[in-house]
Homo-oligomer: A and B are copies of this chain.
């Protein structure tokens, strides 16, 4: 028998929400879930509380917990915050990132380019994430790094969409190189600026997608 069923259930539920199995506004019934997972209500309640604290669901006292997926407006806001967070990371990393970190960035970029050449989208996604995570780490600020990782993770699913735009990946690579150059030159302002627009573009592309859906 496994330990900490509640944690595993929370993880599973999060994936179910992200994969769209549970729609926005849907109520997560304790007894139903308990039956589905073959456990009592206790671990289910603990798992639901995790979802609530992660902002994936909302708990209304004496009413239950309801799925709360971000709408278009909230997503745009999150992308904007991500852009500012990344800019801050770039600014701080410019004067703090190690030689080793810079080398890791160059390596990650090479992997990105290889993924593009091989048309391996999955590989590109993961290497692109790694690239940004190296910059977070380069801030030498664990708290900031943690927050950046959290938001990056939340936006993961939506960031994938905008990369389908024609020529976006190639453009993205050019920006990556600019970022590395700015960091190498310890140019904090430029690193912040390039990173901000690099991420802000994702939000704009996403907005275009949403607009096209509706129009």
Please determine whether A62 and B3 come into contact, CB atoms closer than 8 angstroms. yes
**Number of residues in A with C-beta < 8 Å to the partner?**
27
B-contacting residues, A53-93, CB 8 Å: 53-54, 61-62, 74, 77-78, 80-81, 84-85, 87-88, 91-92
Bound Cα distance A84, B7 (Å): 33
A83 to chain B, nearest CB (A): 9
- A74 and B4 contacting across the interface, CB-CB below 8 Å: no
| A46 to B41 Cα, complex, angstroms | 13
Q: A73 to chain B: closest CB distance in Å?
A: 8
Instruction: State the oligomeric state as a number of copies.
Output: 2
A53 to B81, CA, bound (A): 21
Judged by a CB distance under 8 angstroms, whether A173 is at the interface is no
10 contacts between A and B (CB under 8 A): A3-B61, A46-B49, A77-B141, A77-B142, A78-B143, A80-B143, A81-B143, A81-B147, A84-B91, A147-B147
19 new A-B contacts at CB < 8 Å, known A3-B61, A50-B53, A87-B88: A3-B62, A4-B61, A45-B46, A49-B49, A49-B50, A49-B53, A53-B53, A53-B54, A74-B142, A77-B142, A77-B144, A80-B92, A81-B88, A81-B144, A81-B147, A84-B88, A84-B144, A85-B88, A88-B88
